[in-house]
Amino acid sequence: MEIMNPYQVAQQFGLKTLEKPEERTGTRVSMKIGLPRERSKDERRLAVTPGGVADLIANGHEVCIEAGAGKDARFPDHEYSDAGASVAWTAEELYKRSEIILKVAPPDDEEHELLQPDQIIISALHLGITNERYFRELMKKNITGIGFEFIKSPDNSFPIVRMMHEITGSMSIQIAAHYLENNQDGQGIMLGGISGVPPATVVILGAGIIAEYAARTALGYGAQVFVMDNDLAQLRRLENSLDRRIITAMATHQYISSALKVADVVIGAAMVEGHRAPCWVTRDMVEVMKEGSVIVDAVIDQGGCIESSHMTTHSDPVFIEAGVVHYCVPNIPSNAARTATSALNNLLVPFLLDIGDAGGIREALWTNVSLRNGTYVYKNQLTKKSLAQFFDLPYRDIEMLIASRI
């Protein structure tokens, strides 16, 4: 009797070896996701679009949205209900029906009362206005808190922060162009000039993501663009990515002082992740700027990098000091709410699907490094060392908490 090898068996009987995908160790779960209406002043963004809701519903999850939550982003309730979401008429109803609360701004005092024990809250943290009580309240209710600012990819980038910074950089130039107009107490000039009339001079402080997108937009207008930073590698990167169409300089006192004297627009984009923004422009420097020039301090939410800045709002966005128009609104992307909502949706929906596919939040935190990096409160413990040091609170490493199955 002839003994056939595996290849001959496959040839004779038409059998083939097939690759088998590795099975997930977790059990897929259905989640109840709540989208409350934002209550923070001037916050118009939402975390998920109707299209994102349809994706979540198609994957077996339930979505509940508070009535009117998408109104300011121009996403009416009927678009969410058509996508499969249920509409809650009160915040109390929504919070009671949800396992995951997904929002943009962190919960305020009223919303803290609505949070249910063992819920998951995914939102921005806004460290500039957060206090110790906020974290103690979450730990008391065994809330799992995941912050936009902390979600970090394996390549060490911060995807949500980056996306919002891209919007902030682009919009800062649109804003500056508007406030250069005469009816806004500006100089009455166009950023790009016209034939025979030179363009405006834009000085950008910093060479990060906000600065890059501000520079791209300013160049698109036709402006002359200076970028200053104290990181030579960042300046070199930005200069190369923009085909050397910008002028770069080290952010020394001499260079900044000289540039501000000729600047029509100054974009404050100097920042260090996780720290207060460095102050690079003094009041004395502002006083020698042209009357009717414009400052947009795009990092005011981190303290601002211009001494004369102080926080303003979308409803009252500017003030004039030393003849210079100052725009210092902390949540600039909120004024492009539909674009910002779509951007958040693109990043957050995959995270939600990962949580469900993994079998729940504990399994997802073990397998998804971005979510693990983003978690700041878990199992009644503060899990970010930097927050523990700042607020003088006890701290536990999240990987130890997960591994010990506490």
Catalytic residues: 126, 301
Widest Cα–Cα separation across the chain: 101
**Which among 144, 260, 131 is positioned nearest to 204, based on CA atoms?**
260
- Written as six digits, the tokens of 353 are 């699907």
123 within 8 A of 377, measured Cβ to Cβ: no
As a whole number of angstroms, the distance between CA 168 and CA 210 comes to 6
As a whole number of angstroms, the distance between CA 241 and CA 258 comes to 25
**Strand spans (E) along 176-245:** 201-205, 224-229
The 8-class DSSP code of residue 281 comes to: B
**CA torsion sign, 276 to 280 to 283 to 288?**
negative
As a whole number of angstroms, the distance between CA 125 and CA 129 comes to 9
As a whole number of angstroms, the distance between CA 362 and CA 373 comes to 13
Burial (0-12, 13-18, 19+ Cβ within 10 Å), 405: exposed
As a whole number of angstroms, the distance between CA 172 and CA 169 comes to 5
Cα three-residue angle 142-144-145, rounded to 5 degrees: 125
Query: What is the signed CA dihedral for 120, 348, 173, 280, rounded to 10 degrees?
Result: 50
Within 10 angstroms of residue 279's Cβ, the number of other Cβ atoms is 14
Q: Which residue has the tokens 């910008």?
A: 246
All residues at 6 or more sequence positions from 212 whose CB lies less than 8 Å from its CB, including other chains = 169, 238, 241, 242
238 within 8 A of 267, measured Cβ to Cβ: no
